Amino acid sequence: EYATVRFSGIVPPVAGCWLGVEWDNPERGKHDGSHEGTVYFKCRHPTGGSFIRPNKVNFGIDFLTAVKNRYVLEDGPEEDGKEQVVIIGSRPVETIGFDSVVKQQSQLSKLQDISLRNCAVSCAGEKGGIAKACPNIRKVDLSKNLLSSWDEVIHIADQLRHLEDLNLSENKLRCPSGSAPLTGAFSALKVLVLNRTGITWAEVLRCASACPVLEELYLESNDIVISERPTDVLQTVKLLDLSSNRLIDESQLFLIAYLPRLEQLILSDIGISSIHFPDAGIGCKTSMFPNLQYLVVNDNQISQWSFINELDKLRSLHALSCNRNPLTEGDKAAQTTRQLIIAKIGQLRTLNKCKILPEERRGAELDYRKAFGNEWKKAGGHQDPARNRPDEAFLAAHPRYQLLCLSTYRPGGLSPARFSLEKEKAEYGAPEDGELKIQQPFMLKNQLLTLKIKCPNQPDQKVLEKQLPDSMTIQKVKGLLSRLLRVPVSDLLLSYESPKMPGREIELENDLQSLQFYSVENGDSLLVRW
């Protein structure tokens, strides 16, 4: 069990020295730091405190001792090059030269990446000892130790001039002594992990002043409140993790919205439900988070599509993770929700760690265009550009809809050069009356498509007609056609054509996608080649 010493002294009527400690786990304690009406120290939790004798406490060891305990081997007989047998699972495996690898690791001067997690490290130790013994360390995991102040961390870091990656999670660190800025302590540090350390935002900014090239900063579960805008610090940070800091709200996020190099922002489990970029109107891009490419908002309270609409205003956003939110966990099918998110955020390339293929984007945008066409018309939308004036309420709910109806729209942000090659595919145009979807009750008969099956390369093959569920995957369609036509599945190539798009043929390339995904409708024709 881990605790912080809050008091040392006599606690009458019992003689002798006592330590008053506040446990990291408040259920481990018995009181709030008071005894028989006298307050000896204060705890954040009414049962977080205890009094214990000093001889019951382990105050830890120094950094170099911990390194030696973990990485230095005891002297033994020379067995380099000899075969040894080790058991992996239930099988014996012969190893040759295994000792030489272990001995190389044990040479402290060659160590570059070390883990001292849960090794009871409490201090730097003898001055200069770390620099002399292991000067080449670049990555250190010091999580869940007994470090109690930034001063000790600085004494360690000052001796590791090549240190690039430092994990201090689960250490209760006091702020550095004095008010002077910390300069030079972490001159090469690129990654700093401070999860569950109890650090405040003011302390973050002060410590960051000592990290002139910091690129990744992890601050999970610290009850942080972003109280001020970083001005001269955090300017090099590319990744910022603020997960599980549930006191952060939308207004606080605006204080970090102009970090010039921020590319990844992790906001999982902060309780956020809404966001609005006031500097950008409908269809415009915000000046906030100018280089943000990857946003993670898993495990939040997002329940409105307006949140997704706002994300389309981020000019550089290419990847989004938004799992386990009310919006994505409701009654709608997961695939439908995914398609709507893709259609609403035009520049998105990856959603929930799954790449968005060009055909998936095209299908999502076409389906979105059809699904809300009737609503668009009722709001004042029209196929005639001169009469196309949807009201503000519709534009606010569907800010990308007008763009998708433009004949010059380039799906997925295609470059003009590439657009010229794919122009025919890109011309969506305003939805025609025959395309507009009417929501039907969920019954099997409403999900069946009547399709013609044609074999263009086989003139003697009669045209067939089949009813297929719109949820049927291309793989299953191929299986059905293989049995009907007596052709191996592996030889079949599928595409379809629609009377609404004469002269165009759309390939059904992804076996795992459904007919609905490709916007196949009643009356369309499946084209089968082998």
Please provide residue 86's backbone torsions phi and psi, each rounded to the nearest 5 degrees.
Answer: -120, 155
**Distance between CA atoms of residues 486 and 52, nearest Å:** 82
The per-residue pLDDT for 430 is 80
Please provide residue 3's backbone torsions phi and psi, each rounded to the nearest 5 degrees.
Answer: -150, 165
**In tens digits, what is the pLDDT along the chain, a chain of 530 residues?**
888 899 999 999 889 999 999 998 888 999 999 998 999 999 989 999 999 999 988 889 999 999 999 998 655 544 445 556 656 555 666 665 556 545 544 588 899 999 999 999 999 999 999 999 999 999 999 999 999 999 999 999 999 999 999 999 999 998 876 655 566 779 999 999 999 999 999 999 999 999 999 999 999 999 999 999 999 999 999 999 999 999 999 999 999 999 999 999 999 999 999 999 999 999 899 999 999 999 999 999 999 999 999 999 999 999 999 999 999 886 566 778 999 999 999 999 999 999 999 989 999 999 899 889 999 999 999 888 889 999 999 999 999 999 998 754 455 444 443 333 333 334 577 887 766 655 544 444 446 889 999 999 998 899 999 999 888 899 999 999 998 899 999 999 999 998 888 888 888 988 888 888 888 888 999 999 99
Structure tokens at 82: 């000899």
**Contact 242/264 with Cβ under 8 angstroms?**
no
**Distance between CA atoms of residues 205 and 217, nearest Å:** 11
- 320 pairs with which residues across the strands? 295, 351
**Contact 354/339 with Cβ under 8 angstroms?**
no
One-letter amino acid of 496: Y
**Distance between CA atoms of residues 467 and 528, nearest Å:** 16
The per-residue pLDDT for 383 is 86
CB atoms within 10 A of CB 21: 26
CB proximity list for 313: less than 8 A, separation 6 or greater = 277, 280, 284, 285, 286
Chain centre to alpha carbon of residue 126: 41
Structure tokens at 456: 């263009």
Segments of 223-312 assigned E as strands: 239-241, 264-266, 294-296
Pairing status of strand 34-35 against strand 38-39? antiparallel
- Gyration radius of the chain's alpha carbons: 32
**Distance between CA atoms of residues 23 and 320, nearest Å:** 38
CB proximity list for 441: less than 8 A, separation 6 or greater = none
Exposure class string for 442-463: b at 16+ Cβ within 10 A, else e:
eeeeeeebebebbbeeeeeeee
- Which helix or strand (DSSP H or E) is residue 64 part of? helix 63-71
- Which helix or strand (DSSP H or E) is residue 157 part of? helix 150-157
DSSP 350: E
Q: Which residue has the tokens 């970083």?
A: 230
**Distance between CA atoms of residues 64 and 129, nearest Å:** 7
**Distance between CA atoms of residues 35 and 27, nearest Å:** 18
CB atoms within 10 A of CB 216: 16
The per-residue pLDDT for 91 is 64
Q: Is 42 helix (H, G, I), strand (E, B) or coil?
A: coil
Segments of 413-463 assigned E as strands: 448-454
Structure tokens at 94: 């012969």
